[in-house]
Structure 1
Amino acid sequence: MAEIIERVVAATPARVWELWTTAEGISRWWAPEGFRTDVTRLDLRPGGELVYTMTAVAPEQVAFMEQHGMPLATESRKYFTELARPERLGYRSVIDFVPDHEPYEQLTEVELTPVKGGTRIVMRVEPLHDEVWTGRLLAGRANELDNLAALVDAE
């Protein structure tokens, strides 16, 4: 059963779509505080691939990653399952970073609905293999939406 995260952001669905489906847009809000996102491949079609690298850039994040023996940069992949501009998109994330766990894919579906004052975003997030990792995923997705809201507020 999918977990649901909702936000209203002060931008039109078309603007949210642009920020979610372009390399320039993605690079501006996907990374958590202290990290940078660089998109290296974006094939925007069902079955198309998004490849990006997230890199620790702030001193405290760099120190944390080094202290725990983690790489400063990690490449991630997603495959688009649905693209209906500007209302819906879906993607399967490749989960290949869990120690002692075989890689698998996880589905996220996003609905963008115009509302007074902006766009209501509803994310349906398929859980990961256990509650701890699902909690981490949900926290990450919520952080992404917080970053998106802050970006459109600043524009």
Structure 2
Amino acid sequence: MTTHPQAAPQRSITFERTYPASLDEVWELWTTKDGIESWWGPEGFTVTVHQMDLRPGGLLRYAMTATAPEQVAGMKQAGLPLSSEVQVTYTDVTPPRRLAYTHRVDFIQGVTPYDVSTVVELQPSGQGVRMSVTSDAMHNEEWSKRASMGMESQLGRLAKRLQR
């Protein structure tokens, strides 16, 4: 059976964080090869950026690889490859406040590929930088929960990176 997610109502999930850092520091971690490679992806995964063209219509292409034993086992159990190539298309780049992109969800067996949009907004605050990340929900609750857990882990890695 093939699921067609376009028929599902569109929902979004928002994550908000305040980081004790400057706007420029957070922007750089979102918009440079070294920045992305230093924190992107959930715990237990590494990312290698192959291409980064930071402009509307430009691409970010990277490989995300499970490296920690727990993640390797989870990927194998789910029948997913340990490494996957990901392509992001930037839709809005407004330094240093707003970054928007879409990525193609084409790795789930039995589900017609579809796009997920994400918007990152950065605002200076008294404690540093207030960040809001809003992403489309996935095609069902299970995958939305997985994506949320991944983003929570990823934003935790960003916090650790900013503490260095």
> Aligned partners of 1:68 and 1:3: how far apart in 2?
23
Q: Are 1:115 and 2:133 an aligned pair?
A: no
| 1:98, distance to aligned residue in structure 2 (A) | 1.4
Deviations 1:78-110 (A, max 9, x none): 100100000000000111111101111110001
Match of 1:83 in 2: 93
Count residues with an aligned counterpart. 154
Residues 69, 134 of structure 1: alpha-carbon distance in 2 compared, 3 angstrom cutoff: closer
Superposed displacement of residue 58, structure 1: 2.5
Q: Is the 8 A contact 2:106 2:113 kept in 1?
A: yes
Give the CA deviation at 1:69.
4.1
1:97 to 107, 124, 127: 107
When residues 134 and 69 of structure 1 are mapped into structure 2, their CA distance, relative to the original with a 3 A threshold, is closer
Structure 1, unpaired ranges of 5+? none
Equivalence for 2:83: 73
Letter matched to residue 114 of structure 1: P
Uncovered stretches (5+) of structure 2, i.e. residues with no partner: 1-10
TM-aligned CA deviation for residue 67 of structure 1: 5.0
The answer on whether the counterparts of 2:41 and 2:150 sit within 8 Å (CA) in structure 1 is: no
Per the normalisation by structure 1, the TM-score is 0.92
Q: For 1:53 and 1:24, how far apart are their aligned partners in 2?
A: 14
**2:48 corresponds to 1:38:** yes
TM-score (structure 2 length as normaliser): 0.87
Q: CA RMSD in A?
A: 1.4
Percent of residue pairs bearing the same amino acid type: 43
Matches within 5 A, 1:56-71: 56-71=66-81
Deviation at 1:45, TM superposition (A): 0.4
Distance 1:63 1:4, change over 3 A: closer
